[in-house]
Amino acid sequence: MMLLLAPMEGLLDATLRDVLTRTGGVDRCVSEFIRITNTVLPERAFLRVVPELRNGSRTRSGVAVRPQLLGSDPACLADNAARLATLQPAGIDLNFGCPAKTVNQSRGGAVLLDEPELVGRIVAAVRRAVPPHVPVSAKMRLGYHDDRRAEDCALAIAEGGASELVVHARTKADGYRPPAYWDRIAQVRQALPAHLQLPIVANGEIWTVADAQRCLAVTGCSALMVGRGMVANPGLALAIKGQGSVPWSVLPPLLLAFWQLVALRVERRHRAGRLKQWLHYLRRHYPQAQEAFDALRTVQEPETIERWLLEGVRAQAVLSPLPARSGAEALPA
C-alpha cells in the first residue's frame, strides 16, 4: 500500500507537509505546483516552493517530496525540469489537473486535458530532459468540461514515458464537489495496453478508512493519494494502513509546531488565517477543534494565538511532540 500526500495550492504547502508527515503513514508527498511560463527559473524559485530540496528532497521526518511543475510549453518545461534535476529532487511531477480559473486561462493545469497530444509532448520532453534515474510522474483529472478524453490523456502520458499517474476522479467542471467517479479510474486503467501499463494512483473524496477501502476495490489500484482527508484527520494515512490513529491529545504540539513554522514563512497579518484554515478542516474529525476554532475565531494578534497554543500544549504536558529525524534541523522553515 503506497500512500501519497496531495498537493493543494494555498493549503498543503511545505509548512503543513512538514507537520502532517510527522504523524506517519505517508510514503511520499507532491509539492504544490511551480508555475513555468517562458523562462528558466532560478534555483531560489524551486527552493521557495520546495524547501525540502535543501534536505535531500525530504521533509524533516524523512518523507520524500516530489516537486510539481505546471505549464504548457514542452520546451520550456523541459529546460526547467533539467534545472530542477540539478537540485536532486525525489522525482518530477507534472500538473494536468489544477482547476483554478486563472491557471486554466493561461493554458495550464486541467485545460490541457482537451489536448492529449500536447500532454504527451510535455511528458516526453520532460522525460528526455532529465537523467534516467529521476522519476517523471503526472497528475490529471478526468477532463476539463467532461471526461470523454480521459483515456486519451492517460495513454498520452504513458506513451510520453511517465513512470506513474495520479488520477483525480473528477473533471475540472466538477471542482471538488462529491462524488468522485472512482469507476472511471478503473476504466482508464483498463484502457492502457499491456506494454504501456504504469502504476495508477487513485485520488478524490478519500476522507475515511472506509472510503479508502471502497476506492481501492472500485478502481483496482494499489496506491492512493489523500489530500483534504489527511488535513482533516492527520492520522488518516496510519489508519488506512491499519497502523493506529492520531488522537486529539497529539494535536496541540502539532498545532504549535505548525504555528511556529507559519510565523517564519507567512506575513504577520496572514498568520491567524492559516491556523484557522487548518482548524476548519480538523473540526470535521475532532470535536475539540471546533472548540479551538470558536476560541480563536475573532483573534488576530499572533502573540495571543501563541499563548493560547502554548497553554494547550501545557495541558497535554504528559505528551511529547512527535520527534523529527536527526539532521532535520538543516531544513529551513
Report, as residue numbers or ranges, the catalytic residues.
98
d(CA 227, CA 240): 13
Give the β-pairing of 200-203 and 2-5. Answer: unpaired
Cα Dmax for the chain: 59
Give the chain's length: 333
Is the sign of the CA dihedral 250, 251, 254, 256 positive or negative?
Answer: negative
d(CA 141, CA 328): 34
d(CA 143, CA 130): 27
Q: Which residues are CB-contacts of 208 (< 8 A; sequence separation ≥ 6)?
A: 229, 233, 236
Can you list the positions of beta strands (E) in 115-217? 136-141, 164-168, 200-203
Query: What single string gives the DSSP state of each residue in 95-114?
Result: EE----HHHHHTT-GGGGGG
Query: What single string gives the DSSP state of each residue in 32-101?
Result: EEEE--SSPPPHHHHHHH-GGGGGTSB-TTS-EEEEEEE-S-HHHHHHHHHHHHTT--S-EEEEE----H
Q: At 1, list the grid cell.
A: 500500500
